[in-house]
Structures are given as C-alpha cells and as structure tokens.
C-alpha cells in the first residue's frame, strides 16, 4: 500500500508537470478527452444566445489560411428555429437502426457555419480549426457538442435566409450520454458502437500514428 501511495503521488506529480492546468481548471488533454461527439442532450438545459456568442468569439483568436477569416456564424437557439435545423441534419449515420437522436434528447442549440468564399482545401482546414476550437470552448464552459457535416445545405440556407452557404453545423448542449474511448489498432474497425447504454468510440493508439 505504501508503494502504491508513492507511485500514485509520483504519477500525480508527473502529470502536473507535463499537463499544467489552465485558469479554468482544465488541462488541454482533459478538455480533449471530454470533447466527445454527443448525439443526446439533457432537455432541462437551455443554451442561451449569449453562451453561443461566447463560443463563437474564440474565432477571433484562430489561425486562418492567408488570414482570410472567411467563416461567418448563424446562432440558433430553441426559440429561434432549432426545429428547422433538426429536421435537416443526420446524426449517428453509422448506427442507422437507432434513429438518433432519441426523442426528447434532441440538441436545441446550433451554430451554423457559413463561408463567404467557395469551398477549398484551405477553407476546409479553417473549418476544422474553427469547429474544434468552438467545441473545446463549449466543453470548457460545461457544455458538449457535435460537428455535423451531414445536413441539407439548401434547406438550411433557405430556412434561415442565410447570406452565405452553410458549410458545417455544430450542435451545442449538455450531453446526457455515457461515452467511452476504446484504444484500437489501426487495422481494427473504426466504427463506433453502443453496448448496455454506453457509446464506445474506437481510437487508434497514438504509437501507431507515427510513421517509422
């Protein structure tokens, strides 16, 4: 037991040294671990427009190809058209039999990402940086989220009379799913699955990601 105590203390020390904690109490790795894709949300939590604004504000801090900053954001809450987003998105495409989200757990706040320039490789990189940064901010604020690439762009553009084409949608809310990461080999299936109410997400172990 004494040995364990010392070992744990040393682990704590090592972790603190390698992963300093931010002012908000979250280290980057803990934010990244918490930042899972949620497809079910607690209906008791309402996300306000002010919270969505705070999330979008991180975009003023991000790198951008040629510093073009071509992304614009439409904020949608429960009171400003969430239903119109819901009917035009597809969640959990790898588990079609579940028809996610389950009734009563639908996301009710969204950030519709639009682009002022035509889609390109560089714009796609900017979109990825923006999406992940906004999700990390949401997690830092106590929310969860989901990146949605499967949506009816024409219907969304029309429904919100958007001045620019929508290229990505983020759902934001308080997740109510149990999600666990599972370490896998690169050759194993990458498909997420559900078992006994837990959503498992396979991730290739980092050692196998390095080209040797």
Ligand X SMILES: Cc1cc2nc3c(=O)[nH]c(=O)nc-3n(C[C@H](O)[C@H](O)[C@H](O)COP(=O)(O)O)c2cc1C
Which residues contribute to the site for ligand X (CB under 6 A)?
36-37, 39, 90-93, 146-150, 192, 201
CB of 154 to ligand X, least distance (A): 16
Nearest to 58 by CA among 42, 39, 71: 71
SS3 string of 110-158?
Answer: EEEEEECCCCCHHHHHHHHHHHHHHHHHHHHCCCEEEEECCECHHHHHH
Phi-psi label, residue 196: left if phi above 0, alpha if psi -120 to 50, beta otherwise: left
We find the least distance from the C-beta atom of residue 130 to ligand X, in angstroms, to be: 11
What's the CA dihedral at 125, 126, 128, 132 to 10 degrees? 140
* Bond before 174 cis per omega within 30 degrees: no
Q: How far is the CB of 12 from ligand X (least distance, A)?
A: 27
Q: Which is nearer to ligand X, 90 or 154 (CB)?
A: 90
Minimum gap (Å) between residue 139 Cβ and ligand X: 11
70 vs 139 by CB, closer to ligand X: 139
By beta-carbon proximity to ligand X, the closer residue of 9 and 182 is: 182
Sign of the torsion angle spanned by Cα atoms 187, 170, 141, 137: positive
Residue nearer to ligand X on the CB measure, 29 or 49: 29
Query: In the bound complex, what is the minimum distance in angstroms from residue 170's beta carbon to ligand X?
Result: 10
Nearest approach, Cβ of residue 189 and ligand X (Å): 12
Do the Cβ atoms of 64 and 212 come closer than 8 Å?
Answer: no
Q: Which is nearer to ligand X, 148 or 159 (CB)?
A: 148
202 neighbors 191 (Cβ within 8 angstroms)? yes
For 71, counting Cβ atoms within 10 Å of its Cβ (0-12 exposed, 13-18 middle, 19+ buried), the class is buried
Of the pair 51, 100, the CB lying nearest ligand X is at 100
């Amino acid at each position: 037991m004494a040995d364990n105590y010392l070992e744990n203390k040393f682990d704590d020390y090592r972790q603190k040294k390698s992963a300093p904690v931010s002012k908000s109490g979250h280290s980057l790795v803990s934010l990244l671990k918490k930042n899972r894709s949620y497809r079910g949300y607690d209906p008791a939590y309402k996300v306000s427009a002010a919270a969505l604004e705070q999330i979008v504000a991180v975009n003023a801090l991000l790198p951008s190809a040629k510093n073009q900053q071509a992304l614009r954001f439409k904020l949608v809450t429960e009171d400003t058209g969430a239903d119109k987003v819901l009917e035009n998105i597809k969640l959990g495409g790898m588990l079609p039999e579940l028809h996610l989200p389950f009734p009563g757990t639908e996301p009710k706040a969204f950030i519709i990402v639009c682009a002022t320039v035509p889609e390109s490789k560089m714009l796609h990189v900017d979109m990825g940086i923006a999406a992940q940064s906004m999700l990390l901010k949401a997690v830092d604020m106590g929310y969860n989220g989901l990146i949605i690439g499967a949506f009816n762009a024409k219907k969304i553009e029309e429904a919100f009379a958007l001045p620019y084409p929508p290229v990505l949608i983020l759902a934001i809310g308080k997740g109510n799913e149990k999600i666990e990461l599972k370490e896998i080999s690169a050759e194993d299936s990458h498909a997420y699955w559900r078992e006994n109410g837990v959503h498992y997400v396979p991730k290739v172990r980092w050692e196998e990601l390095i080209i040797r």
